């Protein structure tokens, strides 16, 4: 089990004694994990074990009750959502959160355009942004659908578009909250391909999944959570070989 070191070279993201509770429920309870750079890390655990809360804390969607998040070796007590792209982090949501009533095209464009107010007013879609949007839409197979509203897509397409939207943001760390849930086999392969592609570009991925076949196939590093606490963490193959993990989660 690795201990948090604040080592930005090896770890893209770390948490030190991070805690979040809702009322009396300790969703995340003094969790310390380290997410190795350039690898695919999977978080597994039963429902309600705090996996999504962990991603929400790392992306600033929920404020930390306690503990520190270390991004690229920089210690943060507060993670503000609008600062996460600057920290090199982006995410997808478990309950696909696209911008429903705007076009597929604009869903991608909007993450590429100017952040500052006044320049944004004067900007009308630069050619670089358009090219990048086309490239992303083609890579997730949504180019023909670019004029549709995001709400008119099928569930699988929405899931893919959301991953595309995250990928449009050229960052180091991607947090995918259940990217495989409810997907067709074809779509599954596509998402796997996208994740492998990101890894081959040297980026770090953290994802949540309940599908043990995919976990086994994709992940380099595994974090096992239970009741907001870390059960075990380490190299995927080693962790999957541990008897207590097999017993608890693989349902042998």
Partner 1 sequence: MSVNPSEAASLLRSVREPGAFARLARGNLELWVNLVVITWAVVFAIWQGTGFAITLGTVFAIWAILAVSLNLVVGFTGLLSVGHIGFFGIGAYTVAILTSNAQYEQLRTEAIPTFGWPFFAALPVGIVLAGLTAIAVGTVFNRFRDDIFVLVSFGFTVICFNVFLNSRGLTRGAFGIHEIAKPEIGGWSFGSEVAFLILALVFLAIVVLISWFIVSSSFGRVLTAIREDERATEVFGYQVTHYKLAVWVISAMMAAAAGGLFASWTTFIDPNSFILLESILLVSIVILGGLATIWGSILGTMVFVLLEEGMRFLPFLPDEYVGQARQVILGVLLVLLMLFRPQGLLGRYKL
Residues of span 41-60 touching partner 1 by CB under 8 A:
59-60
Site for partner 1 in 146-165 (CB under 8 A): 149, 165
**Position among 7, 123, 189, 213 found at the interface with partner 1 (CB under 8 A):** 123
76 interacts with partner 1 by CB under 8 A? no
By CB under 8 A, the residues from 200 to 239 that bind partner 1 are: none
Segments in the chain forming alpha helices (H):
51-58, 104-112, 117-122, 127-139, 155-168, 185-200, 212-218, 236-241, 243-249
Of 3, 24, 121, 127, the one binding partner 1 (CB under 8 A) is 121
Residue closer to partner 1 by CB (options 20, 221) is: 20
228 CA to centre of own chain = 18
**Residue 181: C-alpha distances to residues 44, 75, 219 (Å):** 13, 32, 16
List the one residue from 2, 66, 135, 169 that touches partner 1 (CB under 8 A): 169
- Rounded to whole angstroms, what are the CA distances from 97 to 10, 29, 31, 198, 237? 31, 27, 27, 21, 33
Tell the smallest beta-carbon distance from residue 184 to partner 1 (Å). Answer: 24
Instruction: Identify which of residues 61 and 68 has a Cβ nearer to partner 1 in the complex.
Output: 61
Each residue 124-143 as x (binds partner 1 by CB under 8 A) or -, in order, gives: xx------------------
Please state the closest distance from residue 226 (CB atom) to partner 1, in A.
27
| DSSP-derived 3-state class of residue 168 | helix
DSSP state of 201: T
Residue 95 lies near partner 1 (rule: CB under 8 A): no
Q: What is the sign of the dihedral through the CA atoms of 215, 203, 96 and 20?
A: positive
Q: Which is nearer to partner 1, 163 or 218 (CB)?
A: 163
Residue 72's Cβ-count burial label (10 Å; 0-12, 13-18, 19+) is: middle
30, 48, 85, 141: which one binds partner 1 (CB under 8 A): 85
Closer CB to partner 1, 39 or 165, in the complex: 165
* Token output for 231: 């059960």
For the chain, state the CA radius of gyration.
18
Q: Does 72 bind partner 1 (CB under 8 A)?
A: no
CA distance 71 to 114: 24
Q: Please give the residue ranges that form the binding site for partner 1 (CB under 8 A).
A: 59-61, 81-86, 90-91, 93, 97-102, 106, 109-111, 113-115, 117, 120-125, 149, 165, 169
């Amino acid at each position: 089990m690795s201990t948090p070191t604040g080592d930005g070279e090896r770890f893209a993201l770390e948490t030190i004694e991070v805690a979040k509770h809702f009322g009396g429920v300790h969703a995340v309870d003094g969790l310390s994990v380290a997410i190795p750079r350039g690898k695919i890390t999977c978080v597994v655990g039963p429902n309600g074990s705090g996996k999504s809360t962990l991603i929400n804390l790392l992306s600033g969607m929920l404020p930390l009750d306690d503990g520190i998040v270390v991004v690229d070796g920089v210690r943060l007590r507060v993670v503000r959502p609008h600062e996460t792209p600057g920290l090199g982090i982006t995410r997808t949501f478990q309950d696909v959160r696209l911008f429903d009533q705007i076009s597929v095209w604009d869903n991608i464009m909007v993450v590429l355009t100017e952040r500052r107010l006044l320049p944004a007013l004067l900007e009308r879609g630069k050619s670089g942004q358009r090219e990048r949007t086309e490239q992303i839409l083609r890579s997730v197979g949504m180019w023909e659908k670019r004029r549709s509203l995001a709400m008119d897509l099928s569930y699988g397409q929405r899931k893919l578009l959301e991953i595309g939207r995250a990928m449009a943001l050229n960052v180091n760390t991607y947090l995918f909250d259940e990217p495989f849930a409810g997907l067709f086999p074809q779509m599954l392969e596509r998402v796997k391909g996208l994740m492998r592609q990101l890894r081959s570009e040297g980026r770090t991925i953290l994802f949540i999944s309940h599908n043990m076949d995919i976990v086994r196939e994709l992940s380099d590093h595994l974090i096992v959570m239970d009741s907001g606490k870390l059960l075990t963490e380490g190299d995927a193959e080693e962790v999957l070989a541990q008897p207590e993990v097999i017993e608890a989660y693989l349902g042998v």
